[in-house]
Amino acid sequence: METYRLNSRVASNDREYLIQTVNDTSSHQIRSSIFSDGHLLETVEESVYPHMPEQELLELVKTAHKERKEEVESLFERYKEALGSSDVEHIDYLGMALMYKHMHNEAESLFRRAVSIRPDSHEALNHLGMVLMTLHKFPEAVEAFGRCVEAQPKFADYHNNLGEAFLAIGSCKRAMIEFDEAININIYYGDAYYNKALTYILNSIRREDFKLFSEAADKTLEMIERAIVVCPEYQDKNFDEGKQLLSDGDLDGAYHKFLASRDRKKERRFKEFSNVYLKFMLAADKVDEKMLRRRIESLKEAIAKNPHYPDLHYDLAVAYTLMGRFVHSKAIKEYQEALKINPDFDRAKKSLRLAENEFRGFDVLVKAILKG
């Protein structure tokens, strides 16, 4: 089987992105990847039949490449439009779509735009903090998450995120306050327990707070065990090595291993759970049936690996709802075609009225989904 490789470049502001599509003959997949400054940002894979005719395979590679290029160009076109927009929800959705694709500089610009329009938007402030953490702008992330918690103090995620930002700047005592608050709101918050363990370890290295230091020996492993009961996905090679280093008294080594395990878990969940890009494309009238079918298959595969994650089942329900909207719109078009041919077709008239009423219900549901 021949190997085909297509490359295209797309520019945004002062940055250039490389889109590369190639068929992998060993795994029988077509891979479309986005690179920036030599770093891989995202890869989408599509399986192909092992003995597909060469011309058919080449056409699939060309189609996949064209779709990815148009997708990125569409995002950047809307990015430029959004910088001059005042629709905070739309700007925020687009910012998340860009962040989902690891286009963090563009995402930061949009979240800052959203916050400048609506300074108390806790969603936009939270997303701004998230992208600032990714860009290692930790003091700015503390400020963004702090404003976010002020705007909406009852969300456990926001306190956990603020705690992570404090931890990133080495402020262990303030980080622990936020993780404790997150657990007060949600006692089953595994991420907050894990972060408490990290805080105990870092404080033992830096000796910032005496009370935390005195508790560390008893509490660190307890917090780790509580975390993995709720979130067993923390357990990987880095996690196991971190526990061993902790047992050996190598606190610095253990901290960095546990941190690597947390980062890996975040990246995996980010890929598996993010429904934001689909939401944005829907808002931009860019979702098509093929995209939805791919999304559904991807979610079904993720659920097979993680059957107990409610977010995945929710995302699949959203995708099925959107697919139902597409199918319903096709039904309406066919009723209309029937009436063009025979305007006196009473059954078609009645069915069209019912279908149009139901479609309006779909629109209400879709708008509710977009509001999150």
Neighbours of 118 (CB within 10 A): 17
Tell whether 28 and 174 lie within a shared domain: no
In a domain, 163, yes or no: yes
Tell whether 253 and 335 lie within a shared domain: no
Percentage of the chain with pLDDT > 90? Answer: 53
Tokens of 72: 């990125």
Tell whether 129 and 47 lie within a shared domain: no
Tell whether 93 and 51 lie within a shared domain: no
Sorting pLDDT into bands at 50, 70 and 90, what band is 1? low
Sorting pLDDT into bands at 50, 70 and 90, what band is 359? confident
Q: Return the closest-CA partner of residue 294 out of 32, 5, 3, 24.
A: 32
In a domain, 12, yes or no: yes
* Maximum mean pLDDT: which of 74-78, 83-87, 215-219: 83-87
Sorting pLDDT into bands at 50, 70 and 90, what band is 28? confident
Between CA 107 and CA 92 the distance in angstroms is 9
| pLDDT tens for each residue of 213-270 | 888 888 999 999 999 999 898 999 999 999 999 999 999 999 999 999 999 988 877 7
| Average confidence (pLDDT) over 342-367 | 85
Domain of 100, CATH number, reads 1.25.40.10
Residue 237, pLDDT score: 95
pTM over 0.85: no
Residue 285, pLDDT score: 63
Tell whether 124 and 262 lie within a shared domain: yes
Q: Return the closest-CA partner of residue 124 out of 146, 157, 91.
A: 91
* Of residues 6 and 368, more confidently modeled: 6
Tell whether 157 and 254 lie within a shared domain: yes
Specify the number of domains making up the chain.
3
Domain of residue 257 covers: 79-273
Sorting pLDDT into bands at 50, 70 and 90, what band is 33? very high
Sorting pLDDT into bands at 50, 70 and 90, what band is 273? low
Between CA 92 and CA 97 the distance in angstroms is 9
Average pLDDT of the residues of the chain: 88
